[in-house]
Structure 1
């Protein structure tokens, strides 16, 4: 299969570089990595070379580049991640939020700061 390379306008490249720096500053490392892949491809790197450089699967790099070609800059941004479905019903979530807002001392803990094990215990007890 023949390698395809993006041909970005100078202004687009400048905007992507600026957005990559901003994403890194904000901690959006996945977005920065996808932008970096697009910039490397524009610089003449193949998807295999990019995958090695940024330590990501080649299939992901190909998908990022294909999405960028089709949908543009928006395709590089983070979307909604479904993840595992919640096991709590909405009314349980509301109750849990109320308990957390009132603080751990009000619930009977000695610590003034919530920890994950404490919240897990509240979920089990409620």
Structure 2
């Protein structure tokens, strides 16, 4: 199991999409659109639009913005996450591992070396897939001695001969 950076920018999260929808509703409130029109355009219920309008009338567009997450703050701040990203991009062999593959255990050890913070396997997974945007990559298991040209020759010549003999 190995982790590599995802080549594509991750899509917006559900909270980000919801906030964008509420921001668009605020623009439409300013333009004087009716609640039913806004609900239809944004694909939400009339009740949601009524609730947003009450909040918008009391506090403006800023009142419709997302609130910061409550609960325990992350163990790593943004600067530490960037230090971990830089360390991981240097490769596993740079940190004394035999193969240049990242596993949760290896990443956890590097996080501890770079930041001094110990993370559980679950927290390492969330760091990689959430904050760093990496995805799971599994190496293909193939024999080192595998000869692609010989395999192609066998499929093209031997397999039809064997199949015909049945």
Give the shorter-chain TM-score range.
0.3 to 0.5
Higher helix share: 1
* Structure of larger gyration radius: 2
TM-score relative to the length of structure 1 = 0.44
TM-score by length of 2: 0.36
Structure having greater relative contact order (Cα 8 Å, sep ≥ 6): 2
Greater percentage in strand: 2
